[in-house]
Structure 1
Amino acid sequence: MSKILTEKQIKQYHDNGFVSPIRVMSETEALSIKAQIEKAEKEFPYEFNPENRNNLHLSFTFLDALAHNSIVLDAVEDLIGRDISLWGSVMFSKDPSSKHYVSWHQDATYMGMNSSNFLTPWIALTPSNIEMGCMTMIPGSHKQSIRRHEDTFAEDNILTRGQVVKDVDESKAVNLILKPGEMSIHHGAVIHSSKPNKSKQRRIGFALQSYMPLGVKQLVGENMWMHIRGKQRQDRDGVILNRPLYDMD
């Protein structure tokens, strides 16, 4: 029996490679977290530099709390089971009228896992709509194999390598419009992107990238994770990451 998602939502995820929207918290709570981010950006500008936007949940307790939010985890459990580990997080921020975008890609391409059967919740801390450059998904693309990606290192591409999948049929694309406090969840192999923010307000989303079941193993790269729920993985070469006790712990 599912904890929070309906049968329709679970089917949507398995059929399309994503499910959205899911209410995690009130808009007021989401905007409060946004305010905490903006306060932390002023106090710790290096840590919140766009080049250092990964794994902030390991350093800031209010972001760690998002990674352990019970609604987020119940939805994740409905899709991959109770035994859950978290590999990392990414802060996605687009300033007003910026040129920054995310090219068509699949998360699993460079993560070095033995399977793409993992998922990423993307939590909106501001509105995320078409004008603001919301995420866009290609339904059913997670059922394909991992496509060839070209590393472009394009200047305005938020992805570190500027990786891009060519020949995507954009006529099938679905925009994931979210209100503050809502999230989407997408599969590790679904093809997705986002366009520049053309609005006059900042767009912020916090991606928990990614939650893994026990069967997904790291084959390439550093094998580090945080135990979240259920049985703890016993990877012999792995490093278990601890929750922060205070900010910048």
Structure 2
Amino acid sequence: MTDPRKPGRLDAAAIARYRQDGFLAPLPVLDAAEAAHHLAQLDAIAAQRAGRMVPTQNVKAHLLAPFLWQLVHHPAILGPVEDLLGPDLLCWGSGFFDKQPGTSQHVPWHQDATYWGLSAPQAVTAWVAFTPSRVENGCMRVSPATHHHVLAHADTGDNTAMLPGREEVLVEVEESTAVDIVLRAGEMSLHDVLLVHGSRPNASGLRRCGFAIRYIPAHLTTTGGLRGTATLVRGRDHGGFDLEEAPEAPFHPAALRRYQQVIRQWMRIVMPRMGGGAPPDAKRGGAT
């Protein structure tokens, strides 16, 4: 899948498969020890913050913790993403999907770009496993080759849905052809912003924690006359977004002050598309 002549890059067959199916997996990012260290850092932060990342801080989590800032810049992630989106890359968002054992939290079938407000549906989500992601603990599932059209969505009204808008695609998804994305800790999957995907509840005794990073080509902008923010991670800035800054330390006061402005800008763009102006904490529970 990766090109042996260019370590950390995709070969031509993998790129063609991604264009056809809308996803690739698994791809290596971290070794087992590094993945465990990342999970420990996340848990240390959560232990100081009521045991979790609150939803409004789980939109662009890399702006609040240096180890996550470093991860969104990781060459093993950016190399394959560059092969798919081009050399000039922005990180538009990042956040955790963390399912505790035996919980009902799940992700309905959806497309990522539904409420993003981007000028074009051109983006890749890198889903990095901090723990093993298996069928029994609710790994991500994808519906291959469903990334060629924007589909309508609606709010399910289900507070166990792990999405800010609780959204679900308004088409029948063919379950028999769905693919389970099984990952070891430290591996990642890549999927197109329009690929229909979701996940079932965690029916096992094993936690399932993954970090979803949203990458876009730097030539994109936001729609509706509003200006968004993003992190330049590779190549050249094209000027379509206000550029975000690295955190000085985990939840440093200066980083938190900047983040409040960033999240206000994000909410002005995204929340009206969800049918309301309330932040995620007010709309639903704190699943991440």
Q: Quickly name the TM-score band, shorter chain normalised.
A: over 0.9
Provide Cα deviations, 1:97-116, integer angstroms capped at 9, x if missing partner.
00000000001111011211
Contact in 2 for aligned 1:46/1:52 (Cα 8 Å): no
CA RMSD of aligned residues (A): 1.6
Indicate the residue corresponding to 1:123 in structure 2. 128
Match of 2:243 in 1: 240
CA gap 1:133/1:46 in 2 versus in 1, 3 angstroms: closer
Instruction: Return 48-57 or 130-139, whichever deviates more.
Output: 48-57
- One-letter code aligned to 2:99: K
Which residue identity does 2:248 align to in structure 1? L
Matched residue SS, 2:251: coil
Residue in 1 aligned with 2:153? 149
Aligned residues between the structures: 245
What is the letter of the counterpart of residue 147 of structure 1? L
Relative to structure 2, which stretch is displaced further, 45-54 or 132-141? 45-54
Letter of the aligned partner of 1:70 in structure 2? P
Alignment of 1:70-149 (within 5 A): 70-143=75-148, 145-149=149-153
Quote the Cα distance in structure 2 between the aligned partners of 1:99 and 1:39.
24
CA distance in 2, matches of 1:161, 1:126: 26
Q: Which residue in the other structure is 2:216 paired with? A: 212
**What CA distance in whole angstroms lies between the structure 1 residues aligned with 2:30 and 2:51?**
29
**Counterpart residue type for residue 86 of structure 2:** G
- Would you say the 8 A contact 1:113–1:216 is kept in 2? yes
Identity %: 34
Q: 1:72 to 1:107 in 2, by over 3 A?
A: same
Query: How far has the Cα of 1:47 moved from its partner?
Result: 6.6
Superposition misfits of 4+ residues, deviation over 3 angstroms: none
**Normalised TM-score (structure 1):** 0.93
Name the CA distance, whole Å, in 1 between partners of 2:245 and 2:56: 23
Structure 2 gap segments, 5+ residues each: 253-288
Bigger helix share: 2
Equivalent residue for 1:186?
191
How far did 1:10 drift?
1.2
Q: Structure 1 residues 106-115 or 44-53, which shifts more?
A: 44-53
| 1:105–1:149 CA contact under 8 A, matched in 2 | yes
* Aligned mates of 2:115, 2:11 — CA distance in 1: 32
What is the identity, as a one-letter code, of the residue corresponding to 2:220?
V
How far did residue 83 of structure 1 move?
A: 0.3
CA contact (8 A) 2:221 2:227 kept: no
Moved more, 52-61 or 38-47: 38-47
Q: Which amino acid aligns with 1:242?
A: E
TM-score (norm 2): 0.81
